[in-house]
Structure 1
Amino acid sequence: MSYPTNYDDVVHQLQGAGLLPRLPLETGRIRRCPVAGDRERRGWYSLAEIVRDDGLCLLVGSYGIWHGTDNHAQKIVLDDSQRFSDEQMQALKAKLAEDRRRADGLRRVEAERAAQEASRMWQRLSPTGDSGYLRRKGVAAHGVRFTPQGNLALPLLDAGGRLHGLQIIYADQRKKGRDKDFWPRGLAKKGHFFLLGGSPDELLLVAEGYATAASLHEATGLPVAVAFDAGNLLPVAQALHKRYRRCKLLICGDDDYLSAGNPGRSAANTAALAVGGEWLLPQFAAERPTDRKGPTDFNDLHLAEGVHVVRSQIEARLQQLGWRASRPSAATDPSPAQPDQPQLINDPREMDSRYTLIYGGNGLVFDHKHHMLLDIADLRNACCDKEYVRQWQRSPNRQAAFLHNVGFDPTGKDPDIRCNLWSGWPTTPKPGDCSRLLDLLQYLCGEDPNFVALYQWLLKWLAYPIQHPGAKMMSAVVMHGPQGVGKNLFFEAVRAIYGRYGRIVNQQAIEDKFNDWASGRLFLVADEVVARQELYHVKNLLKCFITGEWIRINPKNQAAHEERNHINMVFLSNENLPVVLESDDRRHCVIWTPAKLEYKFYAEVKAEIDAGGIAALHDYLLQLDLGDFGPHTPPPVTEAKVELIDTSRDSTERFWLAWSRGELDGVPVLPCRSEDLYKLFKSWADRNGYQRYPPSNLMLNRVGRFQGVAKKILRYDAGGSIKQATFIWPPGVEAPPDRKQSEWLGHCAGLFIDGSAQWRRGTAANWAET
């Protein structure tokens, strides 16, 4: 095996900086490696092989050692004989940029695979167990899980609750030179965290490791986020700030007093500055050693001086900042089920933090505990003492927001939303059997010749907004066909996954002027909702639901407001024409269902649902590999869609297609006067059974908008005299270059009139014979 010319020199540079890379060196992406005198894998290098024009192969790249948020990057040094020309440097930069893009794509694929593998492992781990690590650290298990060997497993979660990997903390004090690892390889750690103590209301602590977070949580009862290390404090703080915008963040850092630059202190300070929060380091009563590592974090403080000292230091810092927390709750699982009943007010101290007055909302108040708007009269009735509301109205700490600060934002990315109607995912996925539900969906797609691709697209269309809460799919599903085939059975199971954020609506709801049923929805099943040509307001409303960015919500007896549109829609119908599609439609996936199956099959589906099939389907969709599927991925063009588009054509379009395709015997496809075309249209409409048709101005305006059609006022020769008229000029027809246009147009107009008369006579004769 041949190595680059400067291979040995690069190895010496890495080792000289304290890195202990595994040999031979690897290229293509960032590699982590141990550092001399440190059990953590803080070292890193990123190398690429470059061949110069003269054939010399060299290693280039950079390396460093992570300290807090600084990677201390250094470039590989080349000697004078190894340097590149300016042209070679430009080519080198372009290659490295391409390598980075390729590496980023591979990392995303690897991270998705790792997330799926970690999710499967998490489900197999036990929520109860014993660990030597917990005994050493003097803390309890808060929402963690246990391996059969007694190791701890902590989930790495994003702000939407999706699991991306696990941190394994070993039961014994040392394993492979360290007591914890991230698993599986390739997981995405940046910005992902583990939350102790449930969803925060107004105050959230952030710490590096689990033991530190557990000590803080047990000392204060406040929710604490585990960032896993100092380098992840900043991205975790930013993710938490986006998810819990009303929360104040206190970064409880490690005091790495023996490390150069104190990376724990630096990382805590940086994270706090980035999100407008504050930071705090533990203060130890005894002097710490300088010849070896002494206590550095709040868990060390807990073990050395007691949990009450941790509590007093946190409370002192909060008092200094003027931050108040409502009564802390006991430590709980990080994602407890919310009680399905109102939480009444029996403590006036929670009024300031729980409620926000909506300025300009005509007496509306936002409840941050239940994520809902209510009238101030309801607030009075919810208080054990009506004096609470009067005290709150006089309080200098009372919060207020504008009506546009109220919204439904499951993504957590809208900076304007201070009062979020989204309260978190309402259902819990669980591994289980959903095979019959999937069989039902596959059967519903089975009429189309390309049903496999259709089934895969539909699965991903359902899975994407579950994996990305709040994602707006720029398409809708239309499923129609015979009764009793199972359309409602399947999609009501999907709607159940969304809980209160899903709804089944009918024609009456769609046409009602009060549409608060659309507020705070993610998934709508429109059951037998028909958008006929004449129902323009219904057609426009449904278009808004499918692709509009905003929805205007008009509740009864409350002020109307706009919400960002997160709704994804499925239309179910037994009608042949459930919706009207335009010929260039790109937003609908249309499926015609086959005939009804035996009763036994549907009984098996219902039994599966009763046995936990909805939670299993939720889990299946959450784990589904989406590949490059996204909100703008176009739906497949099915036979059912082609037929529905044809059925949706109005009289004007059908007439135009018949004439332009030469189906009206004797009528030439040439420029003609608009009045003559309309006369022919009326005759054609009468012959084809249309009882009503549009007036001439509407019909001709629509014709003028067809692709390639020209509608313009032109001069023409009418038997020797020049006249002026509006002409309809079909696409693909050109005037002969050797003839004067006015003369040729007059000739065309005459041919069209004669051909129309001939067609009428022929049609009348055919009718008479019939």
Structure 2
Amino acid sequence: MTLDDLIAEMRGHGLPALPGDGLPIRNGKIHRFGKGGKKAWYRLRELTLDNGQQQIVGSFGQWHGRDPGTVSVTFDWTGITDAEKAEFERRQADLDKQEQERKARISAAAAGRARGQWAMAKAVANPDDIAYLKRKQINGAFARVTADGMLLIPARKYRRDVRPELTSVQKIAPDGSKKFNTGAEMTGAACLLGTIDDTTRLIGVAEGYASGQSVRIATDEAIPIMVAFSAGNLAAVARQLRADFPDAVLVFFADDDWQIHQRYARDLLEDFDIETPPTIDGMDHTCLTKGDDRVTVRAWHRADANSTPFIEADVRCGRRMQRWKFENAGIASARAAAREVGNAEVVYPVFAARGENKWTDFNDLHVEEAIDVVRAQLAPIVLRLLSAPAESMSESPAPSVSLAPPGEGVAGAGGGDEPSTASIADPSGSPAPSAGDEPGVMGGIFTLGWALSHCALVQGSTDVWDSLNKLRMKRAAFVDMVGKDAAKSWAAHGARRTISPRDLPRTIRGVAVEDGGAGEDHIVMMLDRYTLLYGTKTVWDAYNRSILGYDAMTLARGIELSSRWLKHPLRREVDLDKLVFDPTQKVDLDTHINMFQGFPLIPKKNDAHVDLVLQLLYNLCSHEKNADEVFRWVLSWLAYPLQHPGAKMQTALLFFGEKQGTGKSLFFEGIIKPIYGAAGATGGQHQLEATFTTWRSQKLYVVFEEILSRQDKYSHFGVIKHMITGRDASITQKFKDDRTEANHLNCVMLSNEFQAVPIEPEDRRFLVVEARVHPGEELLEKIKALLERGLIEAFYAFLLEYDVGTFNEHTKPLMTPSKERVINFGRPDWEAFYLSWKAGDLAAPYCCCLSEDLYVVYSRYCNRFGFRSLSLTKFSELLAQRVAKSRQWVQLGVKKQLLTVFHVESDSTDTLSKQCQTFRDLADIRVGA
């Protein structure tokens, strides 16, 4: 097979284009490529036979779920003699042996690193100090934490009567991202929560640390849990447990990876541009992509040997062919492992109102509902198994727990009752079973999570305020909308919101109307509308949502009425610091006034409108090489604070470009800002320079247009940084008392300048995108025409339902080519010199040298490129931030002197004096010149 034939075959199997020059690297190592998670891979070698013929051997594929999709490269034996064939097989065996030895060395090195990291970490003293543990509501038992807050979970190989061998550590960052030591041997590695001995009758097996900990908490640590770290590792861990403890009952606390239909639709859209997935009925369906390509899709509902449903799909487009399997990996793997080892059961969580949330394990059940819910589901199962161990599964035709259709979960193993059996489609191909999970109003987003984000209890009543749909409803209506269990969990949840009736708009039959006014001037209105801010001469106007001077109120209402209000025993009074802006709506309204009043728009779905907005946003991102990743990151950044009102993003967006008319302002100011209503703002140079900062009060979103002139680029940058990451904002207002508000302001910056703001080399605040591509007048005109006709409401609805995955306030911005250019543009001259020296771009070698000699080279560099050179002292002190500097005895020539030396780390065995002399010679530095 020629190289061109191989590349064509790889493309024919659906792999994306190879990066770089488009040619595969043939060194026998695994190479991953492609967008996102880099699911495509290959491992190829090129062998030259004795007759001079070259052959490419190896395999390639594309990960889909747990299937690597391996395709072996066909070997061309044409013209190959038996002797040459034997020689080839011998070489192949040698290479395989070398590869195994290389992997063993890498895994040994990974284990060594893990031991060092584990030894340096400390036990968790306070779980609330660890963001991940606090979010998961678990303690840090059996884990350790590093100095920088990284949680470490040990991965060990366990064998009876043998000391456990640490092979890796799972590192969990504060944002929840996880990784193991590179190259670690993880097959069979696990983390034991608890202890196991000959008296242990019940052993639990879970995928994740958090899930295992929740099970331990719910069962009062009655059973030990072995954490396998992944679904694919369950069987290996279970085999070792069964070998060591043949009489123990194994209980698999499985993850319910239920979203197989969603993954089917997602992959068709991402890989073949098919927006509407065809019916899963075992028949061929021809679909057209946006580019009018014809794609044939055939999909089946099937069930594996353990009756776990999955979807199989065959997708073809021209020479491309994909064979996909969408399975519930958590339950399928647990059932397969349980059947293999015997005397085992499978249990998985059941959610009261999961909706479309990706809740899968017992920790999700713990966090989203309550630990008592987990306890209620597991207690009868554990009690039954501890009192009378289950029979071996090898004697049963199927696992003791069946997988119910979406929305009809069964309660775990059911405490000995007959399990509910899911309807499984004929493997030969038939429509999916009816799951009874038709989406409700607004696409089924009425879940517990939705209610916590957008519903508030009306203070002094049992009514509920829906801030999205602008509805005040009775509790019975709320229960009907979200379900009894979800309503109960919402009412008891610590994150439930509360709103004062003073903060609600006027309603007719529960629906907000816009023509509500202040009403007539009377004392009841005054008591309801105004609150005195203690220690000041100001009042809070609940109708206009503003702070008003007492004199101004008196002018508007009259001296007599104002005086009556001031002396009235029912007049409300709060401290100034109790006037807060809390979009999370969690403050005590008996003692506080919350200035936040929700978002003004009601979301209304319209896919056609959303497509236009997405085209505009993608066009803004399209100049970047990683445009797809940038596009998804920006969408997540925009969606997260709408899905979690009050979320303070620790990052900001910077879109720049000298090209006019790309749609930056249209998107960020014309479409996004109206979603926030009065909580959105547009800022400029005047706002940054203003003495008074009232414009920042009660704001969630701000668009800055050309905020920094060339002269002020650095003087105001500290203010911008604080607005992005600061916790509080000082609010100053003319003739009013200064106060402090929590900073919930999320910033977008737009500019036509190349260096709109000075980006630092280690910046973690800005996502920088250069908008160069004009979207076309037709698209812009369509969007402008629909701004007042539902386009903004449609995109608001889209953002509320957009899947942000693990994205949160602290997710670091992507590096883009534009950001790299802006960083390089703003580097100081001395640092540009240092990078050139380190990269080998200068005649002077990158090695130890005298500070005076390096300064000579630096001065030449400045003269050559038109830089203004610094003094020797400033240059040396600044460069000492990059290269170690000290006073050393150095002999250059006959005389030995105490001189200032820069120490460059290297593998050279030359003495310090020799390296300094080498630098002087190669840099052509003449002493005394």
Q: Quick one: structure 1 residues 59 and 494, their matched pair in 2 at CA, closer, same or farther if it must change by over 3 Å?
A: closer
Q: Quick one: structure 1 residues 391 and 729, their matched pair in 2 at CA, closer, same or farther if it must change by over 3 Å?
A: farther
Structure 1 residue 755: Cα displacement: 5.2
Structure 1 residue 587: Cα displacement: 2.5
Question: Counterpart of 1:537 in 2: which secondary structure?
Answer: coil
Structure 1 residue 464: Cα displacement: 1.6
What CA distance in whole angstroms lies between the structure 2 residues aligned with 1:328 and 1:500?
15
Question: Counterpart of 1:204 in 2: which secondary structure?
Answer: coil
Structure 1 residue 370: Cα displacement: 3.5
Which residue in 2 is equivalent to 1:181?
A: none
Question: Counterpart of 2:842 in 1: which secondary structure?
Answer: coil
Question: Counterpart of 1:388 in 2: which secondary structure?
Answer: helix
Q: Quick one: structure 1 residues 115 and 627, their matched pair in 2 at CA, closer, same or farther if it must change by over 3 Å?
A: farther
Which residue in 2 is equivalent to 1:578?
A: 756
Question: Counterpart of 2:769 in 1: which secondary structure?
Answer: strand
What per-residue deviation string (whole Å, max 9, x for no partner) do you get for residues 538-565 of structure 1? 2211111222222223333333333222
Q: Tell me if structure 1 keeps the 8 A contact 2:498–2:587.
A: no
What CA distance in whole angstroms lies between the structure 2 residues aligned with 1:654 and 1:328?
58
User: Normalised by the size of structure 2, how large is the TM-score?
Assistant: 0.49
Which residue in 2 is equivalent to 1:153?
A: none
What CA distance in whole angstroms lies between the structure 1 residues aligned with 2:386 and 2:736?
76
Q: How does 1:182-197 map to 2 (within 5 A)?
A: none
What CA distance in whole angstroms lies between the structure 1 residues aligned with 2:691 and 2:734?
9
Which residue in 1 is equivalent to 2:903?
A: 729
What per-residue deviation string (whole Å, max 9, x for no partner) do you get for residues 376-414 of structure 1? 22222332x432332333334433333332232211245
Match of 1:518 among 673, 683, 696: 696
- 1:712 and 2:886 aligned: yes
- 1:476 and 2:730 aligned: no
What CA distance in whole angstroms lies between the structure 1 residues aligned with 2:386 and 2:786?
72
What per-residue deviation string (whole Å, max 9, x for no partner) do you get for residues 127-176 of structure 1? xxxxxxxxxxxxxxxxxxxxxxxxxxxxxxxxxxxx515xxxxxxxxxxx
Match of 1:622 among 784, 800, 807: 800
Q: Which amino acid aligns with 1:390?
A: S
Match of 1:429 among 603, 616, 627: 603
What per-residue deviation string (whole Å, max 9, x for no partner) do you get for residues 193-223 of structure 1? 988xxx95x632359xxxxxx9997xxxxx9
Match of 2:836 among 631, 637, 658: 658
Q: How does 1:74-473 map to 2 (within 5 A)?
A: 75-76=380-381, 77-78=383-384, 82-83=388-389, 117-120=439-442, 164=446, 200=458, 203-206=460-463, 226-227=478-479, 235-237=489-491, 243-244=497-498, 332-339=508-515, 343=518, 346-360=521-535, 362-383=536-557, 385-413=558-586, 418-432=592-606, 433-473=609-649
Q: Tell me if structure 2 keeps the 8 A contact 1:478–1:570.
A: yes
Q: Which runs of 5+ in 1 are unaligned?
A: 1-25, 31-47, 85-94, 96-102, 107-112, 123-162, 166-186, 208-213, 218-222, 248-325, 763-770
Q: Which amino acid aligns with 1:336?
A: A
What CA distance in whole angstroms lies between the structure 1 residues aligned with 2:774 and 2:758?
25
Q: Tell me if structure 1 keeps the 8 A contact 2:853–2:925.
A: no
What per-residue deviation string (whole Å, max 9, x for no partner) do you get for residues 671-720 of structure 1? 33445544543442233223x555555544432223xx213344444666
Q: Which amino acid aligns with 1:400?
A: E
Structure 1 residue 80: Cα displacement: 8.1
What CA distance in whole angstroms lies between the structure 1 residues aligned with 2:450 and 2:793?
27
Q: Which amino acid aligns with 2:446?
A: H
Question: Counterpart of 1:434 in 2: which secondary structure?
Answer: helix
Q: Once superposed, what is the RMSD of the aligned Cα atoms?
A: 4.8
Q: Tell me if structure 1 keeps the 8 A contact 2:621–2:631.
A: yes
Structure 1 residue 425: Cα displacement: 0.7
What per-residue deviation string (whole Å, max 9, x for no partner) do you get for residues 357-382 of structure 1? 2234x422223344322222222233
Q: Which amino acid aligns with 1:608?
A: L
Q: Tell me if structure 1 keeps the 8 A contact 2:506–2:513.
A: no
What per-residue deviation string (whole Å, max 9, x for no partner) do you get for residues 305-358 of structure 1? xxxxxxxxxxxxxxxxxxxxx99998624451445x873662213444433322
Which residue in 2 is equivalent to 1:551?
A: 729
What CA distance in whole angstroms lies between the structure 2 residues aligned with 1:559 and 1:617?
39
Structure 1 residue 462: Cα displacement: 1.5
Structure 1 residue 642: Cα displacement: 2.1
Q: Tell me if structure 2 keeps the 8 A contact 1:368–1:419.
A: no
Q: Quick one: structure 1 residues 700 and 56, their matched pair in 2 at CA, closer, same or farther if it must change by over 3 Å?
A: same
Structure 1 residue 70: Cα displacement: 9.3
Match of 1:56 among 343, 366, 369: 343
Bigger drift between 584-593 and 416-425 goes to: 416-425
What per-residue deviation string (whole Å, max 9, x for no partner) do you get for residues 594-648 of structure 1? 3435433322221122433222222222232323332233333222222222222
What CA distance in whole angstroms lies between the structure 1 residues aligned with 2:757 and 2:436?
42
Q: Quick one: structure 1 residues 670 and 620, their matched pair in 2 at CA, closer, same or farther if it must change by over 3 Å?
A: same
Which residue in 1 is equivalent to 2:743?
A: 565
Question: Counterpart of 2:461 in 1: which secondary structure?
Answer: strand
Q: Which amino acid aligns with 1:363?
A: K
Which residue in 2 is equivalent to 1:541?
A: 719
Q: Tell me if structure 2 keeps the 8 A contact 1:590–1:641.
A: yes
Structure 1 residue 523: Cα displacement: 1.4
- 1:639 and 2:817 aligned: yes
Structure 1 residue 654: Cα displacement: 0.6
Q: Which runs of 5+ in 2 are unaligned?
A: 1-251, 257-333, 353-370, 391-400, 402-408, 413-434, 465-470
Q: Tell me if structure 1 keeps the 8 A contact 2:706–2:750.
A: yes
Which residue in 1 is equivalent to 2:783?
A: 605
